Amino acid sequence: MFMNVIHRSIFFSAIERYGSLLFFVVSTAFLSRLLTPEEFGIYAVINALTAVIAASFQEFGGANYLIQKPSLSEQNIRTAFTIILCMSVLLAVTLFALRDAIAWFFSQEGLRVGLTVSALNFFLSPFSLTLSALLRRDMAFGMLARCNLAGNFITAVISIALAVLHYSFMAPVLGTIVGNAAIVAMLVRYRRDLRIFRLSFAGYREVIHFGAYSSSVVVINVLYNLGPQLILGRTLGFAAVGLYNRATNVTQVFDRVVLQVISPVVMPAIFAHTRAGGDLRQVYLSAIELIAVVHWPFLIFLALVAEPVVWLWLGSTWIEIVPLIRVLCIASLSLFAASLTYPVLVAVGRVRDTFISSLISLPPSLLVIFVASFFGLQVVAVSALLTLPFQAVVAMYFVSRRLAISPMDLIRATIKSGIVTGCSTAGILGGVVISELAGAGPVSELVLPGVSAVVGWWGGVVITKHPLLAQIRLAARGMALVAPRFPFLG
Q: What is the DSSP string of 303-350?
A: HHTHHHHHHHHT-GGGGGGHHHHHHHHHHHGGGTTHHHHHHHHHHTT-
Handedness of CA 106, 109, 111, 112 (dihedral sign): positive
pLDDT band at 4 (very low <50, low <70, confident <90, very high): low
Residue 358 above 80 pLDDT? Answer: yes
Q: Which residue has the higher pLDDT, 256 or 266?
A: 256
- Label residue 235 exposed, middle or buried (CB < 10 Å: 0-12, 13-18, 19+): middle
Q: How far apart are the first and last CA of the chain?
A: 18
| Helix, coil or strand: residue 315 | coil
Give me the mean pLDDT over the 69-88 stretch. Answer: 80
pLDDT band at 486 (very low <50, low <70, confident <90, very high): very low
pLDDT band at 314 (very low <50, low <70, confident <90, very high): confident
Q: What is the pLDDT of residues 375-411, one digit of tens each?
A: 989 999 999 999 999 999 999 999 999 888 999 999 9
Q: What pLDDT sits at residue 164?
A: 93
Q: At what angle do helices 351-373 and 338-347 cross, to 10 degrees?
A: 150
Distances (CA, A) of 282 to 285, 319, 411: 5, 43, 14
Handedness of CA 240, 242, 243, 244 (dihedral sign): positive
Model-level pTM?
0.67
Q: Average pLDDT, whole number, for the chain?
A: 82
Q: What pLDDT sits at residue 2?
A: 43
Q: What is the pLDDT of residues 92-116, one digit of tens each?
A: 888 889 889 988 888 888 899 999 9
Q: What pLDDT sits at residue 482?
A: 45
Q: Which of 329, 484, 482 is nearest to 14 (CA)?
A: 482
Residue 208 above 80 pLDDT? Answer: no
Residue 266 above 60 pLDDT? Answer: no
**Rounded distance, CA 213 to CA 60, Å?**
8
- Structural domain of 143: 2-488
Q: What pLDDT sits at residue 461?
A: 92
| Helix, coil or strand: residue 320 | helix
Residues whose CB is less than 8 angstroms from the CB of residue 313 and which lie 6 or more positions away in sequence, other chains included: 25, 28, 29, 32, 250
Residue 5 above 70 pLDDT? Answer: no
How many domains does one find in the chain?
A: 1
Give me the mean pLDDT over the 140-169 stretch. Answer: 89
- Amino acid identity at 419: I
Residues whose CB is less than 8 angstroms from the CB of residue 195 and which lie 6 or more positions away in sequence, other chains included: 74, 78
**Rounded distance, CA 234 to CA 232, Å?**
5
pLDDT band at 453 (very low <50, low <70, confident <90, very high): very high
Residues whose CB is less than 8 angstroms from the CB of residue 414 and which lie 6 or more positions away in sequence, other chains included: 288, 289, 292, 336
Give me the mean pLDDT over the 276-299 stretch. Answer: 84
Q: What is the pLDDT of residues 193-207, one digit of tens each?
A: 788 888 888 777 777
| H or E, element range at 302 | helix 280-304
